[in-house]
Every structure is written in C-alpha cells, then in structure tokens.
C-alpha cells in the first residue's frame, strides 16, 4: 500500500522558512511514528510567476488535484504589486481553491493559556478561547458575475456581485453542522439578512437544514456586523460560526487577533470526498508572506506546524497524532519559548524560526 501523498507549496516571503520546520516534523512522524508521506514540492505565487510567468502552472494544478492533501506557506509581496491583476500571486491561491472546489474554510481561533496576556483583550475574555469559523470559500462576492471596472458616463464604476445558490449554502452549512455536532453542539450562522437578499436565502437554507437534519445542534443567527462586535465583547459565547466568503474573511481575521498573534493560527480548506473517502484539502497558515522579515529567522512557524496538525486530523485520519503535535506546541509555549512576535513584557526564551522547530521536535520526543 502506497504512502499518502502530500504536495508542499512553500510560496513566497517567509513561506519557505516556516515550511522547512514543517518538513522536519513530517520527517519526525515518519521516523518515530511510522507515518511516512510521499512528499512533492512545487511553486505557487510570486516564485511561480518568476519561473513560469503565471502564479500557478497547470502542471502544479494537476499535482494538487491528485494529492491527498496540499500544504501551502504564503504568497505575495511588494515585488509583485505592479503585476496585472490576472497574474498577481494571490490568483494562484484562488485558483487552487476554486478548481479543487474547496468550499469549506475552517479557521480555528484558539488562545493557548501561555499567550492569554498577548491579546489586546483582557485575559478573562480570551483565556480558554476555542472557536471555529467555517467560511464558504468558492462563491459569494469574490467570484460572482458580473464583476469588473466599467465606464458609465464620465466616470468609472467598480462592480462585484454577491451571489449564492441554495446548494452552495447547503453544503457549507452541513459541514459546519457536522463540526458543531462533534464539538460543543452550538452553531451560529452570520449574514446580513436585514439588507441583503443573499443573506435572506442564506438564513432560510441554514434554518431548514438545522430543523430537518441537525435538531441536536443549537442553531442561532446573527447579523455579521453584530457578530464582529460580539467577537470583541465576549468571544467565548461562540463554538462554531458559519458565514459567507466576504464576512468569513473579515470575521476570521478579527477572531485571529483575539489570540494574540497571526503567527499562531492555522486553517484548512476542505472540498468534496475523493475516491478514497477523504476530502480534497488544502492547509495553510492564516498569516501572510511577511516580506519585511523574510530570510531573517524571525518568522513564527507554529501556524504552519498547526496546519499540518489539521492535515493529520482531517485528511489522514490521525486525530491522536494531531493531538500529540498540538500538545507539543502548547508545552513549548508553556515553557516560555518565544519567536519575536511572541516576546512580551514577561520575557521568555527568544528563539529563531529554526529554534522554535527544535523546541517542538524536542517536545514531540518527550511525548513518546
């Protein structure tokens, strides 16, 4: 039986640095836990444009379609700001999401106890926070037609269209209900049904699914702007949140900062099951390419490491090993090991990107 396949797309900026630490952890699981992966590496984003004139080569797209999971670092940087919109680095990531049909984006916001004082909110507001935002990823205003910049009379007009079908809402809602059923049994759906017809349809579809198929899950609804306010006021009232592409983008970034650092947060983008029963999947840290610190050993690899933990859980049926890796990260943080983004007034042991990888590997060794 062949090993599961993993395509690594490190990307731009700090992407290769944080991904190098993940490669060491992948190797650890092969050496110490008998979990070997067939790993292939390729280009995405600005580096792909430099090599091929496109942010995602067709051959790379084919590799992504065939892999059991894709692990991505980060894309973009000021070097590429002047490129035409159609070939900007971010278009490579959007193509992966769209053509792999990765409709459910899972973005956890978890506050590790050792970092509760790093949030801009009071400790009692964020300590113990563990919520999951499920964002619809392949439709909505980022993909709707018509779109573009047109001329009307003597001025230009920018157009983007918010569009959702019942089936698109249905499948992401079911993914969120299933997660809520396995977690705390609560799901909050967020939209703007008070001013948007797409929000009215969203609320109707989610309500119908909940009543028919998930009566055991406590369903609530909230306008997305009120949801943003409540995330800042008392985020622990939520368990799972499901929302559309635009609001999910905004709300998950807001939730990310509740935890103290974008360098800590992973994400998973899941699609329909493949022939092996596993969902098509792409895993990536929430943070960007951070070109201002690239190559300096300052980047925090934890978000990318935790993205691999999500891959273990959702793509490789290895929930206990995901728990092991997450516990190792928690132990390292509790021991005061800190990359530059985590250095606070209480100090800690400063380490480089590689030093944080060393610490996580040592904690994994100690877990055996």
**Which of these three, 258, 274, 303, is where a domain ends?**
258
Task: Please tell me the distance from the alpha carbon of residue 316 to that of residue 312, in angstroms, as a whole number.
Answer: 5
Q: Is residue 222 part of a domain?
A: yes
What gap in Å lies between CA 92 and CA 87, rounded to an integer? 8
Question: Of 243, 258, 273, which residue is a domain's last?
Answer: 258
Instruction: Indicate whether 291 pLDDT > 80.
Output: yes
State the pLDDT at residue 272.
84
Q: What is the DSSP letter of 353?
A: H
Question: 9 pLDDT exceeds 90?
Answer: yes
Contact (Cβ atoms closer than 8 angstroms) between residue 51 and residue 87:
no
Helix (H) / strand (E) element for 71: namely: strand 69-74
DSSP class of 74: E
Instruction: Provide the annotated active-site residues.
Output: 142, 192, 225, 249, 253
pLDDT of 345? 67
- Whole-angstrom distance, CA of residue 357 vs CA of residue 301: 7
Domain boundary residue among 230, 258, 286? 258
Residue 267 located in a structural domain: yes
Are 254 and 314 members of one domain?
no
Tell which residue, 107, 131, 112, 117, has the closest CA to residue 230.
Answer: 131
Q: Do residues 155 and 250 share a domain?
A: yes
- Residue 315 in any domain: the answer is yes
Q: Residue 194: helix, strand or coil by DSSP?
A: coil
Averaged pLDDT for residues 21-37: 97
70 and 95 in a common domain: yes
Span 228-254, mean pLDDT? Answer: 95
Taking CA atoms, 196 is separated from 167, 199, 288, 327, 337, in Å, by 18, 5, 31, 42, 47
Where helices occur in 241-350 by DSSP H, the ranges are: 245-258, 302-314, 319-334
User: Which residue in the block uniquely carries the two structure tokens 């899941």?
Assistant: 270
Does this model's pTM top 0.85?
yes
How far is the C-alpha of 289 from the C-alpha of 80, rounded, in Å?
12
Distance CA 168, CA 154 (A): 38
Of residues 345 and 123, more confidence is placed in 123
Instruction: Supply the pLDDT for residue 361.
Output: 98
Note whether residue 30 is domain-resident. yes
Give the model confidence (pLDDT) of 166-222 as tens digits: 999 999 999 999 999 999 999 999 999 999 999 999 999 999 999 999 999 999 999
Per DSSP bridges, beta strands 337-338 and 279-285 are unpaired
Single out the residue of 41, 73, 9, 36 nearest to residue 307, CA to CA. 73
> Quick one: residue 70, left, alpha or beta (phi over 0 = left, psi -120 to 50 = alpha)?
beta
343-366 tens-digit pLDDT: 876 678 999 999 999 999 999 999
**Percent helix, strand and coil across the chain, each to the nearest 5:** 50, 20, 30
Looking at the structure, tell me whether residues 271 and 254 fall in a common domain: no
pLDDT, tens digit (0-9, with 9 covering 90-100), for 320-351: 999 999 999 999 999 999 999 888 766 789 99
Q: Is the pLDDT of residue 45 over 90?
A: yes
d(CA 43, CA 110): 30
Residue 286 is classified by DSSP as S
pLDDT over 90 percentage in the chain: 84
pLDDT of residue 147: 95
Chain centroid to Cα 26, Å, comes to: 19
Average pLDDT over residues 288-309: 95
pLDDT at 176: 96
Domain range holding 254?
A: 130-258
End-to-end CA distance of the chain: 26
- Alpha helix segments (H runs only) across 38-164: 46-52, 58-66, 89-99, 123-126
Q: Find the largest Cα–Cα distance for the chain.
A: 70
Whole-number Å distance between alpha carbons of 292 and 90: 18
CATH number, domain containing residue 280:
3.40.718.10
pLDDT digits (tens, 9 = 90+) for 185-195: 999 999 999 99
State how many domains the chain has.
2
Query: 270 and 357: one domain?
Result: yes
Q: Is residue 148 part of a domain?
A: yes
On whether residue 118 sits in a domain, the answer given is no
Contacts of 211 (CB under 8 A, 6+ apart): none
Tell me which DSSP letter residue 155 carries: E
> For residue 349, how many other CB atoms are within 10 A of its CB?
12
What is the reported pLDDT for 216? 98
How far apart are the C-alpha atoms of 40 and 8, rounded to whole Å?
6
**Cα Rg of the chain, angstroms:** 20
């Amino acid at each position: 039986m062949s090993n599961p396949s993993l395509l690594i797309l490190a990307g731009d900026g700090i992407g290769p640095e944080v991904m190098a630490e993940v490669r060491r952890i992948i190797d650890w699981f092969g050496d110490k836990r008998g979990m070997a992966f067939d790993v292939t590496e390729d280009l995405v984003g600005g580096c792909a444009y430099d090599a091929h004139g496109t942010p995602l080569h067709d051959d790379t797209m084919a590799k992504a379609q065939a892999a059991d999971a894709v692990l991505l670092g980060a894309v973009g940087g000021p070097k590429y700001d002047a490129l035409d919109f159609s070939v900007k680095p971010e278009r490579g990531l959007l193509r992966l999401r769209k053509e792999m049909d990765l409709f459910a984006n899972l973005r956890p916001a978890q506050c590790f106890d050792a970092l509760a004082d790093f949030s801009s909110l009071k400790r009692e507001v964020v300590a113990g926070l563990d919520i999951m935002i499920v964002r619809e990823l392949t439709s909505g205003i980022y993909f709707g037609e018509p779109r573009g910049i047109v001329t009307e009379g003597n001025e230009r007009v920018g157009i983007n269209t918010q569009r959702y079908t019942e089936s698109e809402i249905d499948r992401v809602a079911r993914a969120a209900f299933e997660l809520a059923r396995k977690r705390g049994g609560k799901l909050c759906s967020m939209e703007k049904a008070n001013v948007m017809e797409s929000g009215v349809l969203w609320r109707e579809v989610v309500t119908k699914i909940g009543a028919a198929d998930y009566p055991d899950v406590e369903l609530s609804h909230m306008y997305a702007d009120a949801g943003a306010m409540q995330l800042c006021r008392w985020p622990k009232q939520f368990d799972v949140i499901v929302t559309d592409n635009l609001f999910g983008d905004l709300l998950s970034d807001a939730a990310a900062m509740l935890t103290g650092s974008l360098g800590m947060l992973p994400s998973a983008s899941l699609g329909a099951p493949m022939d092996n029963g596993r969902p098509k999947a792409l895993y990536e840290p929430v943070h960007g390419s951070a070109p201002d610190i690239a190559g300096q050993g300052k980047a925090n690899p934890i978000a990318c490491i935790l993205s691999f933990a999500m891959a273990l859980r959702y793509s490789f049926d290895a929930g206990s090993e995901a728990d092991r890796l997450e516990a190792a990260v928690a132990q390292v943080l509790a021991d005061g090991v800190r990359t530059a983004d985590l250095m606070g007034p209480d100090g800690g042991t400063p380490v480089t990107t590689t030093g944080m990888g060393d610490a996580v590997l040592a904690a994994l060794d100690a877990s055996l």
